[in-house]
């Protein structure tokens, strides 16, 4: 039988605790997380999202949660030396991005495409999709795209054009079709 070891008002916090317990080898389950995710006002009525563990692991789970609350938690069973070679081979080391012009590691992400997309979304109520990210070198100022894009430039162009057409269609519908179909209060009095 499972015993509740912690409760949370937000489901995400409970998922983090569950992941921490599972990282230590303690099987954990969540109760009422789906209800509270859909309607978080139910959290107080349902008693929050509950993290449960089997009775045999209660003491160990409470000890880990207390260490976590006191900021003394160390991942003991997932030490890099303790990982078997088969598992360690699955981890891909992250290669830092470099500037293609000067080989500098000082890179910053440009946000103008995202900002343009948000402006189009705000004014036209239509999303403008960008899948390519642009970066700028802080040393030489070179602007470049990442080569890690999933989509080809042709598919990105098609999505961009379709997004613009959808935005233009929404403007057409909102400004040209909507006013002609609305019945004003003056029209209602004339109809009666």
The pLDDT of residue 57 is above 50: yes
Per-residue pLDDT, 29:
93
Domain boundaries, the chain: 2-88, 107-183
Q: How many CB atoms lie within 10 A of CB 174?
A: 12
Rounded CA-CA distance 123/23 in Å is: 45
Strand, helix or coil for residue 187: helix
Calculate mean pLDDT across residues 60-73: 81
Per-residue pLDDT, 160:
75
Per-residue pLDDT, 75:
54
Q: Of residues 14 and 151, which shows the higher confidence score?
A: 14
107 within 8 A of 97, measured Cβ to Cβ = yes
Q: Of residues 73 and 23, which shows the higher confidence score?
A: 23
Calculate mean pLDDT across residues 82-98: 60
Per-residue pLDDT, 133:
72
Per-residue pLDDT, 54:
93
For the chain, report the end-to-end CA distance as a whole number of angstroms.
Answer: 69
CB-based burial of residue 128 (10 Å sphere; 0-12 exposed, 13-18 middle, 19+ buried)? buried
Condensed to tens digits (0 to 9), the pLDDT of residues 141-156 reads: 888 777 655 556 677 6
Calculate mean pLDDT across residues 116-125: 71
CB-based burial of residue 161 (10 Å sphere; 0-12 exposed, 13-18 middle, 19+ buried)? exposed
pTM passes above 0.85 = no
Calculate mean pLDDT across residues 68-81: 60
């Amino acid at each position: 039988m499972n015993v509740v070891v912690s409760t949370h008002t937000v489901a995400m916090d409970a998922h983090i605790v569950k992941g921490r317990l599972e990282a230590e080898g303690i099987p954990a389950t969540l109760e009422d997380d789906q209800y509270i995710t859909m309607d978080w006002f139910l959290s107080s009525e349902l008693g929050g999202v509950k993290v449960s563990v089997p009775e045999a692991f209660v003491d160990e789970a409470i000890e880990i949660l207390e260490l976590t609350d006191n900021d003394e938690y160390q991942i003991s069973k997932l030490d890099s030396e303790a990982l078997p070679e088969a598992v360690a081979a699955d981890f891909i080391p992250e290669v830092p991005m470099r500037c293609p012009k000067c080989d500098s590691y000082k890179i910053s992400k440009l946000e103008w495409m995202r900002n343009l997309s948000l402006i189009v979304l705000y004014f036209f109520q239509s999303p403008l999709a960008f899948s390519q990210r642009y970066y700028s070198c802080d040393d030489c100022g070179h602007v470049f795209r990442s080569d890690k894009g999933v989509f080809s430039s042709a598919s990105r162009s098609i999505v961009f054009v379709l997004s613009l057409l959808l935005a233009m269609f929404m403007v057409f519908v909102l400004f040209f079709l909507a006013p002609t179909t609305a019945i004003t209060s003056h029209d209602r009095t004339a109809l009666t």
